[in-house]
Amino acid sequence: MRLKGLALALVAIGLSGCDSLIQSATSGLTEQLGDAVLGHDDPELVREATPTLLILIDSLAGEDAGPAVLGSAAQLYAAYGVVFVNDPERAHKLTERAYGYGRRALCAADEAGCGVRELGFEEYEARIGAYPASRAQALYDYLIGYLSWVQARGDYEALARLPRLQVALDRLLDVAPADIRGRAHMYMGVLQCLRPPSLGGEPEAGMRNFDEALRLTGRRDLSVQVEYARNCARLLYDRELHDRLLEEVLDAPADQPGLTLFNNLAKADARELLSTADEYF
- pLDDT of 59: 86
Burial class (CB in 10 A: 0-12, 13-18, 19+), 83: middle
Secondary structure, 3-state, 193-256 = HHCCHHHCCCHHHHHHHHHHHHHHHCCCCHHHHHHHHHHHHCCCCCHHHHHHHHHHHHHCCCCC
The backbone torsions φ and ψ at residue 225, rounded to the nearest 5 degrees and listed phi first, read: -65, -40
pLDDT band at 117 (very low <50, low <70, confident <90, very high): very high
- The rounded radius of gyration (Å) of the Cα atoms in the chain is 19
Summarize the confidence of residues 121-131 as an average pLDDT: 95
Distance, CA of 53 to CA of 55 (rounded, Å): 5
User: Per-residue pLDDT tens for 146-186?
Assistant: 999 988 887 777 777 888 999 999 999 999 998 899 999 99
Instruction: Collect all residues with Cβ–Cβ distance below 8 Å to 267 and sequence separation of at least 6.
Output: 222, 249, 250, 254
pLDDT at 90 over 50: yes
Looking at every residue in the chain, the average pLDDT score rounds to 84
CB count within 10 Å of CB 225 equals 27
Number of other CB atoms surrounding residue 92 within 10 Å: 18
